[in-house]
Structure 1
Amino acid sequence: MTPLTRDPARTAPAGPARSDWGLRLGGPVWLVRRQHRAAFWTLIAVTLLGTLVMLHLRGQMMDYLAAQDASSRRSGGLPPEFEAYASRLFSIGSYLGYIPVLAGVFLGAPLIAGDLESGTAKLATSQSVSRVRWLTVKLAVPAAMLTLSTATLTAALTWWWNPVKGLSDGLIWTSFFSVTGVTPVAYALLTFTVGVAVGMLLRRTLVSMVVTLGIVVAIGFVWDEVWRSLGNVMSVSTDKGVGPGAVPPELPTQAEQQGQGTYFLTSSGDRLDWTTCLDQTESDRAHAACLESEHVIGWSIDYLPVSQMQTMQWLGAGIMLAVTAAVAAFVILWGRKRLL
C-alpha cells in the first residue's frame, strides 16, 4: 500500500498574509503597511507616549487642586502656585500645534514622491491593481492612522484642559482653539493631503518636503487670521456716560475682546472710535463738551464668547475637510492618467 503523503499546497490554503498586527491584509493594503511600517509604528509609539504623559500630568494637576483649601485660592479661581501646572498644559498644547506641519511634511510629501523616485509606483501599478485603487489605499491607510493618532492626542489634551479652562491667563479658550476638539484632526488631514498632492506633482521627495513646509506655514498663517471670523461677534455696552465715575462694560467670563478696543456709544446707537475728541484733551471741560456734542452716552465692546467655541470648531473643521476631499479627489483624478 502506498503511504499517504501530505501535499504542502493542499494543507496551506491560499489567502491574505497575516500582518505583524494580527490582521489579515492583502494586496495594496499590505503593501502600504509594509512600505510605511516604520512611520506607522513611530506614530503609534508617539501617540501612546504622549497620551500617557498627559494623563499623568493631569492627575498631578487634579491632585494639587484637590489638596488646596478654598480660602487659599485667588479671586481668579486658582492658587498662585498653579501657574507651574498651567505652564505645562500650555506647553503641551503648543507642541500638539505642530501636528499639521509634521503630517504634511514628513507623512504626506514623501508618500507618493518616494514611490515615484524609487520606481515602486510603476511596479505597483503594473500589477493587477489599478492606479485608482492603489492611490485610494495609499491615501486611506495613512489618513486613518493619522486620524486615530491625532484624535487620541487631542482628546487627552481636551480632557486635561476642560477642568481649568479660563481660570488662568494662559488657559483661555482662544489659546486652545486649534489643538482641542475636532479641529486638529481636520487640520492634520488637510496638510497631509496637500503634502501628498505636492509630492505627486513635484515627484522628488526632498523638494516636495520643502515646498510642503512653505505651503503648510502659509495655511497656518491664513487659519490664524480667519478662524475668529467663524464666530458671531457680540457686543456689550453701557449708557451711563463716560465721565468720571462711569464704569466700562464688563465682558462675560472667558470672553475674548474683539476689534480695536472700547468704542464710544452714541444716543443714536452708532459707535465712534475711542480716539474721538482725543485732540480736545487740553482740559476736562473741553473734552467733555466734545463728547457731548457727539452725543456719546457710554461705551461698547465687541467680544467672542466661549459658548461659540465648539460651533466654530465644527464649522472650521467642515471647511477644512471639504478642502481635503477636493485635494484628495484631485490626487486620484490626476494620478489616474498622469501618475507615471
Structure 2
Amino acid sequence: MIRMSLRQFRIQGLVGAILLALAAGYLFRLGADIRAARDTSQLPSQYGQTMLILAAGLGLVPALVGAFWGAPLVARELEAGTHRLVWNQSVTRRRWLAVKLMVLGLASVAVAGTLSALLTWAAGPVDQVAGDRFSAILFGARGVAPTGYAAFGFVFGAVTGLLVRRTLPAMALVFLAVIAVQFAVPNLLRPHYMPAERATVPMSADAINQARALGSITGGPVIGGVEVPNSWITDTSRLLTSDGRQLSDTAFNRCLDDAPKTGATGRFGDTAVCLGELDLHVNIAYQPNQRFWPFQWIELAIYLGFCALLAAVGLWRIQRRVT
C-alpha cells in the first residue's frame, strides 16, 4: 500500500524535489552572501525586503501543497470512477485513506521543514540584528511552525477533495481557504497564546517620528508601528493624555493638518513636535522575543490538532458516505 502510494505520487514528488533543489541552491547562496557581509549592522536594510518576499513565498507552500497534492488525492479517484476498483480490493477504505494521508503528509512536512530550516539558517544573521522574527510574516517562515502549516494544508486538501468530489473546484477552494486560515491565525489566535506583557510608552516627538503611521482612514488619534526593542507589539491604544483620556480629534487634527512651523525634521516633522508638546502616551500589549520558541511549538500543536480533526472527519466520511 505504501509502495503504491509512492508510485502514484512519483510525478508530483519529482516536481516537488526539483523545486526544492532549486530553492535550496538559492538559499545556500543567499546565506553565504549574508555571512560574507562586512558591516552586519546594514544587513536589515540590505536584505530586509528579500526576507519578507521569501517569507511570503514560503507562506504559499501550504496552500500549494493542499491544492496540488491534497485536493486531487481522493477527488481525482472519485471523478474518474477508479475508487470502485480500489475499494473492492483487500485494503479497506479507511486504511487506504490513512496510508495516503500518512505517506504524502510526511512528504509535505519534509518539504516545508527543509525550506524552513534553510531559510532560518540563511536569515540567521539578519534576524539577529533586526530582532523582528516574531513579526506576523517572518514568524510563519521560521522554526517548526511551517511543518504544521504544510501538514494542515495537505490534510485539509485531501478531506475537501473527498467532500467536494471534483478536482478543480476542490483545488481552488483549498488554495483560498488555506491562505485565509494563515491570515486569521496570526491575527486572531497567536497574540493570545500567552498573556501579553503591558507597558506605557511616552509619545515624545522623537518617539512619534520613529512610528510608522499616524492617523487612519477613519480619522482619530491613532498611531501605528510603535516599537519596543526585542518585542512583538500585539496591541496599541490610541493617543492618550496625561490623565489617561483619549486625545480629542480636534487637537489631533490641528497638529496633523495645521501644526506650527518649526522646521523640524523626521518622518512627521512639525506634526511630531506639536503632538510631543501635549504630554501624550500610549498603552501597549506585547510579547517578548524570548517567547518565540514557545509560540512556535504552541502553533505547531494547534495545526496538528486541526490535522487530527480533519483526518477523523475524512476517515468517517469515506467509510459511511462515499459510494
TM-score band (shorter)? 0.7 to 0.9
**Is 1:236 equivalent to 2:177 in the alignment?**
no
Q: CA deviation at 1:280?
A: 12
CA contact (8 A) 1:237 1:300 kept: yes
Q: Over residues 7-63 of structure 1, what are the superposed CA-to-partner deviations in whole Å (9 max), with x where a residue is unaligned?
A: xxxxxxxxxxxxxxxxxxxxx212211111100112222222212211111101111
Counterpart of 1:260? Answer: 236
Residue of structure 1 in register with 2:150 after alignment: 188
CA contact 1:195–1:212 (8 Å) conserved in 2? yes
Helix, strand or coil at the partner of 1:235:
strand
Does the CA contact (< 8 Å) of 1:263 and 1:301 recur in 2?
A: no
Letter in 2 for 1:78: Q
- 1:120 and 1:31, CA in 2 relative to 1: closer, same or farther beyond 3 A? farther
Give the partner amino acid of 1:335: I
C-alpha distance 334-273 of structure 1, shift in aligned 2 (>3 A): same
SS of match in other structure, 1:259: strand
CA contact (8 A) 2:72 2:171 kept: yes
The aligned residue for residue 61 of structure 2 is 99
Deviation at 1:321, TM superposition (A): 0.9
| Correspondent of 2:125 among 153, 160, 163 | 163
Any idea what SS the aligned residue of 2:129 has?
Answer: coil
Q: Structure 2-normalised TM-score?
A: 0.76
Aligned length: 284
Instruction: Tell me the alpha carbon deviations over residues 270-315 of structure 1, each in whole angstroms, 9 at most, x when there is no partner.
Output: x543449948989xxxxxxxxxxxxx99654332322222222221
Which residue matches 2:220? none
Q: Determine if the alignment matches structure 1 residue 213 to structure 2 residue 175.
A: yes
Correspondence for 1:173: 134
Deviations 1:110-150 (A, max 9, x none): 11001112233221221111112111111111101011111
**Counterpart position of 2:316:** 333
Q: Which residue matches 2:32?
A: 59
Distance of 1:319 and 1:215 partners within structure 2: 17
* Amino acid in the other structure paired with 1:181: G
Deviation at 1:184, TM superposition (A): 1.1
Alignment of 1:1-340 (within 5 A): 28-64=1-37, 67-68=38-39, 77-78=41-42, 83-165=45-127, 167-168=129-130, 172-174=133-135, 175-226=137-188, 227-237=190-200, 252-261=228-237, 264=240, 271-275=244-248, 278=251, 300-340=283-323
Displacement of 1:245 after TM fit?
11
Moved more, 215-224 or 141-150: 215-224
CA contact (8 A) 1:166 1:173 kept: no
What secondary structure does 1:98 align onto? helix
State the identity %.
25
TM-score (norm 1): 0.73
3-state DSSP class of the match of 2:230? coil
The residue type equivalent to 2:322 in the other structure is L
Root mean square deviation of aligned Cα: 3.3
Residue 253 of structure 1 aligns to a residue in which SS? Answer: coil
AA aligned opposite 1:256 = W
Give the distance between the partners of 1:104 and 1:318, measured in 2 at CA: 19
Structure 1's 259 and 59: CA in aligned 2 closer, same or farther, altered over 3 A? same
The one-letter code matched in structure 1 to 2:88 is S
In 2, Cα distance between equivalents of 1:275 and 1:215: 41
Q: Distance in 1 between matches of 2:301 and 2:11?
A: 31
Larger radius of gyration: 1
Distance 1:51 1:280 in 2: 51
The answer on whether the counterparts of 1:89 and 1:161 sit within 8 Å (CA) in structure 2 is yes
Structure 2 CA distance for partners of 1:273 and 1:161, relative to 1, 3 Å: farther
**1:104 Cα offset (Å):** 1.3
Question: Does structure 2 retain, via aligned residues, the 8 Å contact 1:236–1:301?
Answer: yes
Deviations 1:206-251 (A, max 9, x none): 121122233223323322422223243212237xx98999999x96
